[in-house]
Chains A and B, each alone.
Chain A
Amino acid sequence: MYDIVIVGAGIIGTLMARELSRYRLKTALIDKESDVANETSMANSAIVHTGYDPEDGTLKALLNVKGAEMYPQLCRELGCRIKQTGAYIAACGEEEEAHLEILADRAERRGIEYAWLSNEEAHIQEPNLSDHVTKVLDFPTTCVIYPWEVAIAAAETAVKNGTELYLNHACTGIDRTETGYVVHTKDRDFDTKMIINCAGIFADELYAMVGTPDFEIRPRKGEYYVLDNTVHFVKHIVFPVPSAKGKGVLAVPTVYGNTLIGPNSDFSDPEITTTAEGLAYVRENITKTLKNIPLNMSIRTFAGLRPSGSRGDFIIEEAKDAPGFINIAGIESPGLASAPAIVEYAIDNLIRPRTALEINEDAVMTRERPVVMSELSEEERTEMIRKDPRYANIVCRCEQISEGEVVDCINRPCGARTVKGVKKRVRPGMGRCQGGFCEPKVLAILSRELGIPMTEVVLDAPDSHILIRENR
């Protein structure tokens, strides 16, 4: 019997698992995907917004400000990269400048740092700002993270503290029992006292397995271009002035040096696919705030689905018709930025009142950062190679990643099981060749480390085979 089953291992589910692993609880974290953070938490703008955007009185406003404050410490504890880039909100003309005043006013009242930049100052900082930009509001404490790096680190920490992680386990039904619920998956059932619904775009469907949902999730697509990391297009995140349609098309310098250009915002096609129309929208609208856009240096495109809830705000509450079933739903932007605060809020207000939370003295809440050769000094690298020469065998020439790093990311708790899993953890295939050179090598290492034939190694889902049979 589990105390808690968390359904969904995105940023919310994994941070929840980590936080709960502080206590003496029997917890399972289950996800239908082959890896943690494989849906919305894998495909977004990666920004830790400071919290000036949500309207007064919303959970979004409350938890975004709080979450943003928690991130630097969280990333330190989990050994994750966070980069303070600052964010420029670029206004074109008087009407938009007036809107900046509203944002500045909110920032003032919420204690968020901001600064005004004249047209000239802003163009000196960001030479690629469009000539139409007339004024800029700067939020210098805005950061970017690698969302799945945080989720993976959180899951790893939870697993080390005893949380059971079940990937490739889709919840197919939930029944009530005398003591709580039983969560069904194809391979096994989970008897549990409580369920935390962190199922992202499927949160309403999951809730419908036990009750009558009083909200609906309407997936809203966003598509992006990724630029090669040799391109230095912007130093800050550059936003247009937000409108009713959302935050608009932005340019984001990511933690590892690639630039994201996107997203659009589209309710009409709730599939994780890129479309010619969506990308055309991005190409067109980025020119509102920026010029000289090097889309010819794009190395990839991707799409993500925002789990937009019908209530507009985050939904963090116990289901009215299902005691012990806790919904964390409608976690669209700024969901990532708010995530640590969402988890804290849910534990304090919904879980603690139902369950005694007894501290687990053995729990270790920190995770040491895995070795990244390119981040080490010469002496440290030499030492690493002396201990394990595989750290000198480079398998990815775009990102210069060694065999040692790949092996390590497979053999850790919550380790990589797929080619995409390796890519998410140590980045081979993220560069301009997109795996043309390194994929065969990564495949061979996965096969060796997992003790499975090459033909059993998959790209992502259990049926996503790369090689169909041996030839000789």
Chain B
Amino acid sequence: MMKKYSAVVIGGGSAGLAAGITLKENGIEDVLVIEKDDMVGGILNQCIHNGFGLHTFKEQMSGPAYAERFKVRAEEVGLNIKLKTMVTHIHEDRTIEYVNPQEGYVTIQADAIILAVGCYERNRGALAIPGQRPAGVYTAGQAQRYLNIDGYQVGSRVFILGSGDIGLIMARRMMLEGAKVYGVAEIMPYSNGLPRNIKQCLEDYDIPLYLSHTVTNIYGKDRLERIEVSKVDEKLRPIKGTEMYFDVDTLLLSVGLIPENHLGDEAGIAMDPRIKGPSVDENYMCSIEGFFACGNGLHVHDLVDYVTLQAQRAAMGAVHYLKNGKPQEKECRVMPGKGVLYTVPNRIHPHNIDKTVEFFFRINEPVDEAVITVRCGERVLRQVKKKYLVPSVMERMMFTAKQLADIDGDITFEMEAVSHDE
């Protein structure tokens, strides 16, 4: 007989743990969390730097310390976690196939499934950087794992491509380990990292940040010997004659994270191409009934606090669904307009909103001051002025159920920069 669960959470990172705990706290008894690694915590385990939990716990802690709080809570609520267990397939009928050395291949049935599968790093292959194929080119997260979990140094003369947060944190980490970091190249005219990381990880260590630059060639037959870095034009094309060379043995790539959407995709769950993760509604429910998504497997987060928050909301969404079934009314789309990259959720059922719904969104370029307008057709639902917006920082906006009760069409989020020229 196929074993049945009310709710199964796939992934035991910060999102999965928070979701599992919330389910238990809200009266769902038979919850199962499935994690492929031999410990829970996910990516937090390799983030030994401080900078987690400022919002949730009002204190600065390391990634493992943040995870520990949730581990303790998971034990208190008696959360059932299967470690070293890989989910291989999920299906529209909410069956889940997993495999582990104790049980072999097993299929189970769930009433609700929460996807909390995390993300993977964009790599050299996807970027198609020309040149040779030596050892010494790593994604930043991979190097971070070698350093912080396995305890090995990957190189001594380092360059970093991409100014994502992991790259910035690794720049400092490598310096502290005695390596020399020659610079960080960023193809965009602005950094994709959090401002605090630029300050604390680059400026404090005199590491140059080359904006509008990219790596255009890689040299070395066995181990990396040298890289070529070029300036790029407005269309991001390398400019001939601007080449610089760095004799490094290590290139770290911090060029973006992509939600691990393969399981969901295979099951037929609709993806939002802007976030590369599932399209979700106000309850974080995916296009297929009974599936929910959160964490980096939904859209990539820079702050773990928001991961926790959204995971809790996804879990509440699942609780709501287990009690009430799926919303019957027609949904309204929530769309990024001018200046906005994406919104989560990207669709809502206005009358299914419990008390409030919070929208998370990112803008597409840094601005000193801007007006954010949320509208439904011609009608302006809200207009606010904001200062110092950057794409790397996620913006949030809360609406009450009442404010959205009478909308009758798609909602758009727009950003207009305020110019102070005259």
- Chain A 204-248: CB-based contact to B (< 8 A → 1; otherwise 0): 000000000000000000000110001000000000000000000
- A300-B125, A392-B99, A397-B86 known; A468 vs B222 contact (CB < 8 Å): no
For residue B398, CB closer than 8 A to chain A, the reply is no
Tell which of A386, A390, A392, A398 has the most Cβ of chain B within 10 Å: A392
Asked whether, in the complex, the Cβ of B125 is within 8 Å of the Cβ of A301, the reply is: yes
Q: How far is the CA of A259 from the CA of B349 in the complex (A)?
A: 40
Considering the complex, which residues of chain A in the window 15-34 have a beta carbon less than 8 Å from any beta carbon of chain B?
Answer: none
For residue A400, CB closer than 8 A to chain B, the reply is yes
For residue B145, CB closer than 8 A to chain A, the reply is yes
Asked whether, in the complex, the Cβ of A468 is within 8 Å of the Cβ of B153, the reply is: yes
Asked whether, in the complex, the Cβ of B123 is within 8 Å of the Cβ of A434, the reply is: yes
Q: How many cross-chain pairs have Cβ atoms below 8 Å apart between A and B?
A: 134
Q: How far is the CA of A353 from the CA of B7 in the complex (A)?
A: 73
For residue A310, CB closer than 8 A to chain B, the reply is no
**Partner among B125, B150, B152 whose Cβ is within 8 Å of the Cβ of A469:** B152
Considering the complex, which residues of chain B in the window 144-162 have a beta carbon less than 8 Å from any beta carbon of chain A?
Answer: 145-147, 149-156
Q: How far is the CA of A301 from the CA of B131 in the complex (A)?
A: 10
For residue B57, CB closer than 8 A to chain A, the reply is no
Asked whether, in the complex, the Cβ of B128 is within 8 Å of the Cβ of A394, the reply is: no
For residue B48, CB closer than 8 A to chain A, the reply is no
Residues of A within 8 A of B91 (CB): none
Asked whether, in the complex, the Cβ of A455 is within 8 Å of the Cβ of B120, the reply is: no
Asked whether, in the complex, the Cβ of A390 is within 8 Å of the Cβ of B151, the reply is: no
Instruction: Give the interface residue-count category, chain B.
Output: 35 or more
Interface majority SS on B: helix, strand, loop or mixed? mixed
Asked whether, in the complex, the Cβ of B101 is within 8 Å of the Cβ of A385, the reply is: yes
Asked whether, in the complex, the Cβ of B154 is within 8 Å of the Cβ of A275, the reply is: no
Asked whether, in the complex, the Cβ of B128 is within 8 Å of the Cβ of A393, the reply is: no
For residue A298, CB closer than 8 A to chain B, the reply is yes
**Partner among B36, B126, B146, B221 whose Cβ is within 8 Å of the Cβ of A467:** B146
Considering the complex, which residues of chain B in the window 262-305 have a beta carbon less than 8 Å from any beta carbon of chain A?
Answer: 262, 265
For residue A117, CB closer than 8 A to chain B, the reply is no
Instruction: Give the interface residue-count category, chain A.
Output: 35 or more
- A230-B262, A378-B105 known; A455 vs B135 contact (CB < 8 Å): no
Asked whether, in the complex, the Cβ of A397 is within 8 Å of the Cβ of B36, the reply is: yes
Asked whether, in the complex, the Cβ of B151 is within 8 Å of the Cβ of A469, the reply is: no
For residue A381, CB closer than 8 A to chain B, the reply is yes
Considering the complex, which residues of chain B in the window 70-112 have a beta carbon less than 8 Å from any beta carbon of chain A?
Answer: 84, 86, 88, 99-105
For residue A382, CB closer than 8 A to chain B, the reply is yes
For residue A272, CB closer than 8 A to chain B, the reply is yes
Asked whether, in the complex, the Cβ of A385 is within 8 Å of the Cβ of B123, the reply is: no
CB distance from A327 to the nearest CB of B (A): 27
CB distance from A83 to the nearest CB of B (A): 21
Residues of B within 8 A of A271 (CB): 132
For residue B121, CB closer than 8 A to chain A, the reply is yes
CB distance from B170 to the nearest CB of A (A): 14
Residues of B within 8 A of A226 (CB): 125
Asked whether, in the complex, the Cβ of B177 is within 8 Å of the Cβ of A471, the reply is: yes
Q: How far is the CA of A453 from the CA of B147 in the complex (A)?
A: 16
Asked whether, in the complex, the Cβ of B86 is within 8 Å of the Cβ of A381, the reply is: no
Binds B, one of A97-105, A144-152, A435-443: A435-443
Asked whether, in the complex, the Cβ of B151 is within 8 Å of the Cβ of A436, the reply is: no
- Chain B 104-140: CB-based contact to A (< 8 A → 1; otherwise 0): 1100000000000000110111101011111110010
Considering the complex, which residues of chain A in the window 239-272 have a beta carbon less than 8 Å from any beta carbon of chain B?
Answer: 271-272
CB distance from B8 to the nearest CB of A (A): 18
Asked whether, in the complex, the Cβ of B131 is within 8 Å of the Cβ of A433, the reply is: no
Tell which of A225, A271, A381, A433 has the most Cβ of chain B within 10 Å: A433
Asked whether, in the complex, the Cβ of B128 is within 8 Å of the Cβ of A225, the reply is: yes
**Shortest Cβ distance from B137 into A: residue:** A459
Tell which of A390, A455, A471 has the most Cβ of chain B within 10 Å: A471
For residue A466, CB closer than 8 A to chain B, the reply is yes
Residues of B within 8 A of A382 (CB): 104-105
Asked whether, in the complex, the Cβ of B126 is within 8 Å of the Cβ of A299, the reply is: yes
Residues of A within 8 A of B124 (CB): 434
Residues of B within 8 A of A300 (CB): 125-126
Asked whether, in the complex, the Cβ of B120 is within 8 Å of the Cβ of A467, the reply is: no
Residues of A within 8 A of B120 (CB): 432-433, 436-437
Residues of B within 8 A of A389 (CB): 101-102
For residue B141, CB closer than 8 A to chain A, the reply is yes
Q: How far is the CA of A392 from the CA of B214 in the complex (A)?
A: 41
- Chain A 393-410: CB-based contact to B (< 8 A → 1; otherwise 0): 110011010000000000
For residue A460, CB closer than 8 A to chain B, the reply is yes
For residue A276, CB closer than 8 A to chain B, the reply is yes
Residues of A within 8 A of B145 (CB): 440
* B residues neighboring A (CB under 8 Å): 36, 84, 86, 88, 99-105, 120-121, 123-126, 128, 130-136, 139, 141-142, 145-147, 149-156, 177, 216, 221-223, 238, 249, 260, 262, 265
Other A-B contacts than A398-B262, A433-B120, A440-B142, 7 sampled, CB-CB below 8 A, are A299-B126, A432-B120, A436-B123, A460-B135, A466-B136, A467-B152, A470-B151
* A residues neighboring B (CB under 8 Å): 225-226, 230, 271-276, 279, 298-302, 378, 381-382, 385-386, 389-390, 392-394, 397-398, 400, 432-437, 439-440, 444, 454-455, 458-472
